[in-house]
Structure formats: C-alpha cells, structure tokens
Amino acid sequence: MMSCKVNLAGSLERCSGDMELLNQVVDETLQKVKSDQLPQIKQALIDGDMHAAHFATHSIKGASATIGFDSLSHAAKALDDLVRVGTQEGAEPLLENLETALDGSLEYWEQHDASFKEALERVGDDMELLTQIAQEMATDLLPEQLTSLEEAIAEASAANVDQCSDEIMEAGVTIGAARLIKMIGMLKESTSGGSVTEESRNMVEKIKEECADVCAFWAVAGVDE
C-alpha cells in the first residue's frame, strides 16, 4: 500500500465531494480492471491482438487516472505506449508491473475502505458528523500535531516522537486515515530502540506528505452537499 500513489482528493473533487459516489466509482473501476480488462489484456497478448490490448490498456489508463490511482494509470500507460504501435516485444515485464500496480491499488482501497467504515461506525454512521469532525481536525489539529512531531524529531527525542505519534495515530483512527495510521506505526517502530534514526526522519517526511493529502481530501468532502 505504501508504494501505491493515489490522489483521492482530486477524485473526490471530481465527484463534487460526494463520498458515496466516490466509493461507488472507485469500487466499480478497480473491479472492472481486475475482472474484465486485465484478463482481456492477457488474452490479447496471447492472441497477438495489439488492437484489443491497446483498447483495454488505454481504458485502464484513463479510468484509473480519473479516480486518482496514479500508480495504476502510469503502469497502464507504459504498456499502452508499447502495444498501441503494434509491438508485443517487451510487454511481459510491463504486464507484470500493471498487475503489481493493480494489487497495490486493491490493497490500498481495501484498507482505506475498512478504516473509513470503522470511523463512520464510531459516529453512528452519521456522514455529516464525521465530515465536520474530520474537517476541523484537518484544519487545526493535524497541522498542530505535525508541527509538534517535527519539533520532536529536530530535538532527537524518541520519547516525544512517540507521544506525538500516539496523538496523530488517534486522529488518524478518528477520521479513518488508513495510510497515515500505517505510517505512524512504522515511525513508532523506528524509534522503539529509544533513539531517533535516519529512518525516523525519512518517515516523518512521508507523514507530512500524507497529512497534506488527508487534509486536501477532507477539504473537498461534501462541498456540494
């Protein structure tokens, strides 16, 4: 899941902030790739039908970009660039990359969906309330917590890093931020020996990027409702 590049904020914005629509579109798109389009590509390569392979890879490229699954879109584009000119040589490793990207996308979405549903259940399935809580956290709490974490890293205080990590972890659980939760767990593991390591510092940079993505996502949630 960590290597899967996803822009859910952009996808949600294209869905006019409608979370239910986002879930439906992402579910349908990923399942279509898995059940229909990827098997079509494999069969087309076996048959030497580059036109059919191009049609399917081009469709995956566009649809996955629309839902914000950039890693999947890029992998599809790489294979599409090859088969659209009628070339099959070199397709096998690109097909493997596409399968890997799809596996990562499905894993990401499964974990995101599970974490989000748990967060929603904790507020009695009240989507409006969850959105309000998450937007308040994304505007004020998360940035403050992130600043404290950066200060703890700068001080090389493993104890303070651990305390800040716990606070961000709690916020992540509250708003169903699966990838952020996982990153915080990795940060805590990196300081479990009682010291701040280079791995810890690198992980904080990734956490900063993920927090920005989380904040961007909630900023557009429910914008047209």
What value does the mean pLDDT take over residues 122-147?
94
Tell me if 105 sits within 8 A of 64, measured CB to CB.
Answer: yes
Specify the pLDDT at position 80: 97
Tell me if 7 sits within 8 A of 214, measured CB to CB.
Answer: no
Specify the pLDDT at position 4: 86
Q: Angle at Cα 224 formed by Cα 219 and Cα 225, nearest 5°?
A: 100
CB neighbour class for 48 (10 Å; exposed up to 12, middle 13-18, buried from 19)? exposed
User: Is pLDDT at 225 greater than 70 in this prediction?
Assistant: no
* 42-81 pLDDT tens trace: 999 999 999 999 999 999 999 999 999 999 999 999 999 9
Report the candidate in 217, 208, 209, 161 with the shortest Cα–Cα distance to residue 17: 217
Higher local confidence (pLDDT), 3 or 121:
121
Mean pLDDT of the chain: 94
